[in-house]
Amino acid sequence: MKIRLTSIIILIALALGGWFVYNTQKEGSNYQFKYGLDLQGGTHLMYRADISDVVDGDINGALNSLKETIERRVNIFGVSEPLVQTEVGGRLSEDKYRLIVELPGVTDTSEAIRLIGQTPLLEFRLLDSGKALKISQEQIEDGTLNIDVNELYVPTGLTGGLLERAQLQFVPPTNEPVVSLKFNSEGKDLFSELTKNNIGEVLAIFLDGEPVSAPVINSHIANGQAQISGAFTTEEARLLVRDLNFGALPVPIELIETQTVGPTLGQETLYKGAMALMIGFIAITIFLVIWYRLLGLIAGLSLIGYVIIMLMLFKLIPVTLTSSGVAGLILSLGMTVDANVLIFERMREELKGGASPYNAIQTGVKRAWSSIRDGNLSSLISAVILYWFAGAAIVKGFALVFAIGIAVSMFTAIFVTKIFAMAVSPDTKDRFKWLFNMGISNKKK
């Protein structure tokens, strides 16, 4: 009777699990399935990071700040869960350092590429001193000194595009760090004109719309060279030089892979995967019931348990589902049955030997265990190696689901199938024996 109680508890637990899977699909739940780009549509970009100009030892630092910069830019998209990560490729690869950007829901690849790859906007803007004076006086009188600095500056047309190079220098005697700029010929002319006409004015330097320094023009500069000095630490100055030279990305990047999946294809793939899962499940159960009768039905039940546990784990871990992951789940459906089949075939031998169904199950599980263990371990080895070596997300997605599937399938075969089978098995030899016969022929022995 204890076995029957246990099996009822398992049934209730599985039902609760099913309810959890269903219920957490509702809007706003934290446990909704996470879908990969290929199922929800979106853009995947892979860049090669050129670290040849990075001083040895600081590669990680450079890659980290690259990641941060790109994250800032990606956030402009307002995508719900963008992914930016750096990756170190194989030893032999030329593209050893990589940056991966995933933008779910974004299918305008050109816009995404443009935004990520853009160089920062370095601008020189003149302070409109008349306006500034007026505003600040008004506000001082109001008692509210609240100036939006950007409004006070007028663009001059002199931008980072006209820069030839930036350099970090230290000015004696205090060794104060300054950033020296050298303009190209067009920039030189523009800069010369600006400094000639606006002596005494403030010519501020803006980076991506934010002022970084606001030096005063002291004299006419005709040679196209300028210095940004001010309250820099050496580190800040160094970063600014880097940003100016490399287009604000700490290391230059080059696009080497793009993948875009339209939203309809993603949904269709998901729908088709779910469809294949259902049809596969139904066909397998029909086969099992025809061949193994009552035990086949139980194997079908334990297969439902398997799917529920898998889906729960997908939500709890959480596993990002991809089309290959769904394929892995469907494949594992067929392979999960293997452990059941092994047990049933062993049982059949025991039944032939005259054991009661109840005892036959116990011995069957015991004797099938070593093949179940060895077989699944070898599958697990290939799954782990796949996961380890997989560069492509599509392979990783499969390997993860496959590995989880192997573990769960061993559990459901040994516990769920066994306990259910024992719960329905009579302890005597002859009653209901036809229910436990196997094969399509129904020969009386």
Partner 1 sequence: MWIIKNRKIFYTFSSILVAVVIGLLFTWGIRFGIDFTGGSLLELEFDGKVPTHDELYSDLESYDFLAGYSLRSSGETGEILRTKEITDEQKNTIISGLQESYSVTESRFSSIGPTLGDELKTKAILAVVLALFFIVMFIAFAFRHVSKPVSSWSYGGITVVAFLHDLIIPLGAFSIMGHFVGLEVDSLFITALLVILGYSINDTIVVFDRIRENLSGVSEELKDKKFESVVGKSVNETISRSINTSLTTLIALTALYVYGGSVTQAFALALIVGVLAGTYSSIFLASPLLVSLNNMSKK
Q: Which of residues 307-336 bind partner 1 (CB under 8 A)?
A: 323-324, 326-327, 330-331, 333-335
Angle at 109 between CA 106 and CA 110, to 5 degrees: 135
Kindly tell me which residue out of 25, 32, 60, 110 binds partner 1, with binding defined by CB under 8 A: 110
Question: Which segment (178-186, 193-201, 274-282, 305-313) binds partner 1 by CB under 8 A?
Answer: 274-282
Least Cβ distance, residue 289 to partner 1 (angstroms): 12
Contact between 38 and 261 under an 8 Å Cβ cutoff? The reply is yes
Contact between 331 and 409 under an 8 Å Cβ cutoff? The reply is no
Which residue has 């030839």 as its token pair? 164
As a whole number of angstroms, the distance between CA 64 and CA 198 comes to: 41
Least Cβ distance, residue 116 to partner 1 (angstroms): 12
CA–CA distances in Å: residue 353 to residues 362, 416, 442:
14, 25, 17
88 contacts partner 1 (rule: CB under 8 A) = no
Kindly tell me which residue out of 61, 155, 262, 354 binds partner 1, with binding defined by CB under 8 A: 262
Peptide bond before residue 357 is cis, with ω within 30 degrees of 0: no
Question: Which segment (17-25, 80-88, 121-129, 277-285) binds partner 1 by CB under 8 A?
Answer: 277-285
90 contacts partner 1 (rule: CB under 8 A) = yes
Least Cβ distance, residue 38 to partner 1 (angstroms): 7
Tokens of 272: 């088709």
CA–CA distances in Å: residue 64 to residues 60, 71, 128, 415:
6, 10, 38, 47
Question: What residues between 183 and 212 interact with partner 1 by CB under 8 A?
Answer: none
Question: What residues between 278 and 297 interact with partner 1 by CB under 8 A?
Answer: 279-280, 283-284, 287-288, 291
Kindly tell me which residue out of 264, 430, 440, 444 binds partner 1, with binding defined by CB under 8 A: 264
Question: Which segment (79-87, 90-98, 168-176, 183-191) binds partner 1 by CB under 8 A?
Answer: 90-98
**What DSSP line would sit under 37-99, residue for residue?**
HHHH-EEEEEEEE--TTSPTT-HHHHHHHHHHHHHHHHHTTT-SS-EEEEEE--TT-S--EEE
Which residue has 């403030």 as its token pair? 202
Least Cβ distance, residue 406 to partner 1 (angstroms): 9
Q: Residue 273: which residues within 8 A CB-CB, separation 6 or more?
A: 39, 323, 326, 327, 330
127 contacts partner 1 (rule: CB under 8 A) = no
Kindly tell me which residue out of 6, 24, 109, 363 binds partner 1, with binding defined by CB under 8 A: 109
How many residues touch partner 1 under the rule CB under 8 A: the total is 76
Least Cβ distance, residue 92 to partner 1 (angstroms): 6
Kindly tell me which residue out of 92, 142, 218, 219 binds partner 1, with binding defined by CB under 8 A: 92
Least Cβ distance, residue 33 to partner 1 (angstroms): 16
Least Cβ distance, residue 276 to partner 1 (angstroms): 4
Question: What residues between 41 and 80 interact with partner 1 by CB under 8 A?
Answer: 46, 48
Question: What residues between 4 and 33 interact with partner 1 by CB under 8 A?
Answer: none
Least Cβ distance, residue 397 to partner 1 (angstroms): 10
Question: Residue 191, exposed/middle/buried by CB under 10 A (0-12, 13-18, 19+)?
Answer: buried
Q: Which is nearer to partner 1, 212 or 390 (CB)?
A: 390
Helix (H, G, I), strand (E, B) or coil at 350: helix
Show the DSSP H helices in 218-322 as ranges: 234-246, 263-316
Q: Which is nearer to partner 1, 90 or 157 (CB)?
A: 90
Q: What are phi and psi of 130, to 5 degrees?
A: -60, -50
Least Cβ distance, residue 440 to partner 1 (angstroms): 12
Question: What residues between 339 and 398 interact with partner 1 by CB under 8 A?
Answer: 341-342, 345, 349, 367, 370-371, 374-383, 385-386, 388-392, 394-395, 398
As a whole number of angstroms, the distance between CA 181 and CA 241 comes to: 9
Least Cβ distance, residue 240 to partner 1 (angstroms): 32
Q: Give strand ranges (E) for 71-199.
A: 83-88, 97-104, 122-127, 153-159, 163-171, 176-183
DSSP state of 118: P
Kindly tell me which residue out of 272, 352, 366, 431 binds partner 1, with binding defined by CB under 8 A: 272
Least Cβ distance, residue 27 to partner 1 (angstroms): 25
CA–CA distances in Å: residue 34 to residues 38, 55, 196, 241, 277:
12, 39, 60, 41, 18
CA–CA distances in Å: residue 314 to residues 6, 24, 36, 114:
26, 12, 12, 35
